[in-house]
Amino acid sequence: MKTRHTIRFAICCFVSMMAVSLVAQAQEAAGPKAKASAPKYADSVPQPTLSEIAYGDHDRHVLDFWKAPSDQPTPLVFVIHGGGWAGGSKERLHRFVDAAALLKEGISVVAINYRLMKHARDVEPPVKAPLQDAARALQFVRSKAEEWNIDQERIAAAGSSAGACSSLWLLYHDDLADPESKDPIARESTRLYCAAVNNAQTTLDPSQMKAWTPNSKYGGHAFGLNNFDQFLAERDNILPWIQAYSPYALVSADDPPVYLYYKAPPAIGKVQKDPTHTANFGVKLQERCVALGLECELMYPRAANATHQNATDYLIATLQKNQRKKRPVTMDPSLPNVLIIGDSISIGYTEHVRTQLEGQANVNHHGSTEI
């Protein structure tokens, strides 16, 4: 019996050694360990006009561009991918907008990568890195307006989850252009014409999150904190950061319109199945926008007063509407003239001010031939 067990053990050892040897031979024949395959766009996404264009020094500072055919400068949708600022890539584009539909309607598209928080461990707070990258990428795109046939005044942002939060941060932040910079890209405006986002976190204030949705758990990582309990405990200590990077805290009466889409109806003050992407975020942002007289369309299943079924529909309707409104500019000699000067200011505000003062003043920007 002992001899039989010994034979079986020897056979098992031999088989195991042969298996290890075969694996080793296969690995040696294959050469160095292959890298994970690069992300790819979905089949529904057309081939980019330009790929992997660098807008900065980091490996993640790249973007892809789709040029819509047009004799006139085209609007552009600037897409920021989601992933909690911890993962994801621009190749997720199809999850946020329908690029083919936008291009068909004469709207160009850009999709960006940005530093994830693991790439910016020396940045405080960590969320500063992806948000600053988004702003820099937007400025870079504006610097290419003539070369890429882009209408600088009609640039919209889109994205989902963290990409949506980044889009809203750009939408509501004061212009980050530095007119005195020696860097021509830094002198470009970061103002947007509108934004259309999915499943956005509209605040990064844990007190607001807890009040709106009791089982909230998201956001602490944006400020280098390990969990939501720590986030709440440290809230007062990091309040300046929260106020600087939370979209809700930045909203003001001169901000552009926004479209918010969520996959489930809201329930303020109640536990949510997905507290990180709850429509409660949208309800509260819409309330703030309405109080300030701003346009904010909120879509979720069975939502009242929502016109557009998705972000792509909203972007097409809004950018085309504004395109028609922009051409031509009719001057009324009986009205006073308002001239907006400064490249970054005029790019970000001319159309918005023109809309606000319609019938009260003729609004144009420096360099216009109308005044």
Q: How confident is the model at residue 346 (pLDDT cuts 50, 70, 90)?
A: low
Tokens in use for 175?
Answer: 């212009």
Look at phi and psi of residue 142 and say left if phi exceeds 0, alpha if psi is from -120 to 50, else beta. Answer: alpha
What mean pLDDT is predicted for residues 160-166?
A: 98
Q: What is the pLDDT of residue 5?
A: 47
Domains of the chain, each with CATH number or no CATH = 50-322 (3.40.50.1820), 332-365 (no CATH)
Q: What is the pLDDT of residue 337?
A: 80
pLDDT at 17 over 50: no
Distances in Å between the alpha carbon of 324 and those of 181, 194, 273, 309? Answer: 34, 16, 42, 22
CA distance 131 to 118: 14
53-63 pLDDT tens trace: 999 999 999 99
pLDDT at 354 over 50: yes
pLDDT at 194 over 50: yes
Q: How confident is the model at residue 120 (pLDDT cuts 50, 70, 90)?
A: confident
Q: What is the pLDDT of residue 359?
A: 75
Q: What is the pLDDT of residue 336?
A: 82
Please indicate whether residue 35 or residue 241 has the higher confidence score (pLDDT). Answer: 241
Instruction: Please give the distance of CA 315 from its chain centroid, rounded to a whole number.
Output: 14
What mean pLDDT is predicted for residues 160-173?
A: 98
Q: What is the pLDDT of residue 271?
A: 97
- Name the residue among 303, 295, 370 with its Cα closest to residue 337: 370
pLDDT at 103 over 90: yes
What mean pLDDT is predicted for residues 347-363?
A: 67
Least confident of 4-8, 91-95, 117-121, 209-213: 4-8
Q: What is the pLDDT of residue 330?
A: 55
Q: How confident is the model at residue 357 (pLDDT cuts 50, 70, 90)?
A: confident
Least confident of 18-27, 84-93, 312-321, 331-340: 18-27
Q: What is the pLDDT of residue 349?
A: 57
Please indicate whether residue 172 or residue 340 has the higher confidence score (pLDDT). Answer: 172
262-303 pLDDT tens trace: 999 999 999 999 999 999 999 999 999 999 999 999 999 999
Q: What is the pLDDT of residue 339?
A: 75
Q: What is the pLDDT of residue 13?
A: 44
236-268 pLDDT tens trace: 999 999 999 999 999 999 999 999 999 999 999
Please indicate whether residue 360 or residue 315 has the higher confidence score (pLDDT). Answer: 315
pLDDT at 4 over 80: no
Q: How confident is the model at residue 15 (pLDDT cuts 50, 70, 90)?
A: very low
Average pLDDT over the chain, rounded to an integer: 87
